[in-house]
Structure 1
C-alpha cells in the first residue's frame, strides 16, 4: 500500500507521495493512480523528497506519465500539506524549474491561501503556423516550464472559429515544440482582469494552472499593456498575479485545499 495525500488548487488536483516510496516507478504510478475511473484520480503526482538539512524537492509527473519541470498549483498544494503536517508557514520547494518559495497567507484547515514566488517570466512574442489555421500570433512564455499564450476576443475562447480545446491539442504536440508546451487562451476583461483557458501538456484541458496563470498574466502585460497586478480567472476560480517589472519575480496568490489522506494499492 502507498500512502498519499490528495489536494487541489482551483480544481487542478494532485496526489502527493513520498519520493522514497516511488522507486523508479514514477511514470507507471502516475499513469495508474491518476486514472479517474480506475484509481484515485488526479491531474498529476507531486513526489516529495525530504533532503538532508531540511530541504525539500519535488518531481512532478503528469497523468500520462510524462515528467514536467514544475506546477505552480501542485507546488502550492504541497506547501499547504507541509503547513498542515509540519506547521510550516513558509517553505522553499526545489523543482526542476527552479526553487519556489511559498508563504501561507491564511489558514483555515483544510483550506489555505498561499503566495508563491514564481521566478522571472520570459515573454517572447511569436507567430506560429498551426495546421488548419495558418498563422497564429501569440507569445512563447517560460515560467520554469514552457507555454504558448494566445490573446483572443471571443467569449468561448475559440480561435478562428475552432474550439480552444482542439487548437490547444494541436499546438501542445506540434513539432514546433519538441518537448511539448502548455497552451493558454486569454481574453482581456479590463486593465486589471483577464480570463483564460488552459490546455496542459501531458494532461489536456484543466480547470486551473498556476504556471498557466503566470504565463497568461505575463503575456497580457507585455502584449496588451494591462496592469502589473491582475486577477486571472480560470474555470476553477481566480488567482492573483503581481509582476512589478519584466526583470523582477512574479508573485502568485491562490487557494489550495487538502482533500483527503489515504492509502492505495501500488503496481
Structure 2
C-alpha cells in the first residue's frame, strides 16, 4: 500500500497529515500509526491527522487524530490549524461557499477553523469544561481550595510533594499547574507521573505554566500519549483558561511554547476559546506500508 502524506507543524508541534477521503486507510492499525510516528524508523510526528468525510450533517470534514503511540485522541488545536491549511492548499475546500473557513467534526463535537490572510489560522475551540467527572477525573477525598473562580485540587506525588492543579477540558483532559520557572520545571518526570495518576482513568495532558505578566505566559506541556511536545494548542488554551479563572491572567494572552507562540482569547465561562497561530507545511511525501 502506497500512501501520500504531508508533514506539517504548528509552533513545532509536528504532524503527518493524510487525505483519507481520496485514500483508503481503513486497513491501518495502531501498530501502523506507531510505526509512522516513530522518529527513528518512520516519518516521525507527535500526532497523525486524517482528513475524512463527515458523518454529521452541516460539517465540511471529519478530523481524526492519532498520537504517535497509536492511541486515538479527542482534540488537537495545533493540528486543527494545520488541518485547515492542508484542506485549503490541497483544493479540498473549493466546493465551499467560504473556502477559508471550514466546520469540522471531532470525536467530542465540532469546531470552526479559519485561515487568515496573513497565513495564520484562528480556531474556535469551543467552550472549556470544568466538571471533574467529565474529563474524567476522580477527585473524591482530594483536598481542594478556591482561587478566584477556580477550584484547585491538591495531588500528592510519589516523592511526597504536593501540587495544586486546575482541571480543564478542551475536548480532551488537562491538568494545569503554575510554576516559578517553566524551564527548570520537572516536566519529564512529573508530567509522566501525572499523566497516569490514578485520579485520571483515561490519562491526562499535563501543563506547566509560568506567568510572565497578565497577558503573557510561558508553557511546557507533557501530552498524553506523546510525551513533551514543542507546543500543544489545547494545552495552551487550558493554561490560559486556568490562569484567567485563577485571576492571574487577562484575555488576550500571548503563549510562548518551546516551538513558537500562540495567541489565546477567552471571554469567560460559557464562551468559546479562540486560538490563533502558525501552520506550516514542511514537505510532501509518499510511503509504502
TM-score, normalising length: structure 1: 0.92
- Is 1:113–2:105 an aligned residue pair? no
Structure 1 runs, 4 residues or longer, greater than 4 Å off: none
- The offset of 1:157, in angstroms, is 4.3
How far does residue 125 in structure 1 lie from its aligned partner after superposition? 2.8
Question: Counterpart of 1:21 in 2: which secondary structure?
Answer: coil
Q: Aligned-residue CA RMSD in angstroms?
A: 1.6
Match of 2:113 among 70, 88, 102: 102
Counterpart of 1:93 in structure 2 is: 104
Aligned residue runs from structure 1 range 145-156, under 5 A = 145-156=172-183
**CA-CA distance at 1:190 after TM superposition:** 0.4
Structure 2 residues without counterparts, runs of 5 or longer: 94-98, 131-150
Match of 1:206 in 2: 229
Change (3 A) 1:59 1:255: same
In 1, Cα distance between equivalents of 2:152 and 2:71: 27
Deviation at 1:51, TM superposition (A): 3.6
Is 1:179 matched with 2:202?
yes
Q: 1:238 aligns with which of 248, 261, 282?
A: 261
Distance 1:16 1:155, change over 3 A: closer
CA distance in 1, matches of 2:54, 2:72: 20
Quote the residue 1:38 is aligned against: 41
User: How far apart are the structure 1 equivalents of 2:15 and 2:83?
Assistant: 9
Cα distance change, pair 173–155 in 1 and its aligned pair in 2 (3 A): closer
Aligned length: 258
For 1:254 and 1:152, the matched residues in 2 are separated by 24
2:7 match: secondary structure:
strand
2:46 and 2:24 map into 1 onto residues whose CA distance is: 19
Contact 2:125/2:273 (8 A) holds in 1: yes
CA contact (8 A) 1:56 1:92 kept: yes
Taking the aligned partners of 1:141 and 1:157, their CA distance within structure 2 comes to 24
CA drift of 1:211 comes to 0.3
Q: Cα distance 1:213–1:155, how it changes in 2: closer, same or farther (>3 A)?
A: closer
Structure 1 runs not aligned, ≥5 long: none
CA distance in 2, matches of 1:147, 1:79: 24
> Are the aligned partners of 2:84 and 2:113 in contact in 1 as well (CA < 8 Å)?
yes
Q: Counterpart of 2:10?
A: 9
Partner Cα separation in structure 2 for residue 62 and residue 215 of structure 1: 19
Aligned pair partner of 1:122 in 102, 126, 129: 129
Equivalent residue in structure 1 for 2:84, among 69, 79, 86: 79
Aligned mates of 2:27, 2:160 — CA distance in 1:
41
- Please state whether the residue corresponding to 1:198 is helix, strand or coil: strand
**Cα shift at 1:130:** 1.8
Shift of residue 224, structure 1, vs aligned partner: 3.6
For structure 1, which segment, 85-94 or 197-206, has the greater mean C-alpha deviation from structure 2 after superposition? Answer: 85-94
Of 140, 143, 148 in structure 1, the residue corresponding to residue 170 of structure 2 is 143
How does 1:214-233 map onto structure 2 within 5 Å?
Answer: 214-233=237-256
Cα contact 1:157–1:187 (8 A) shared by 2: no
CA contact (8 A) 1:8 1:258 kept: yes
Q: Cα distance, 1:42 vs. partner?
A: 0.6
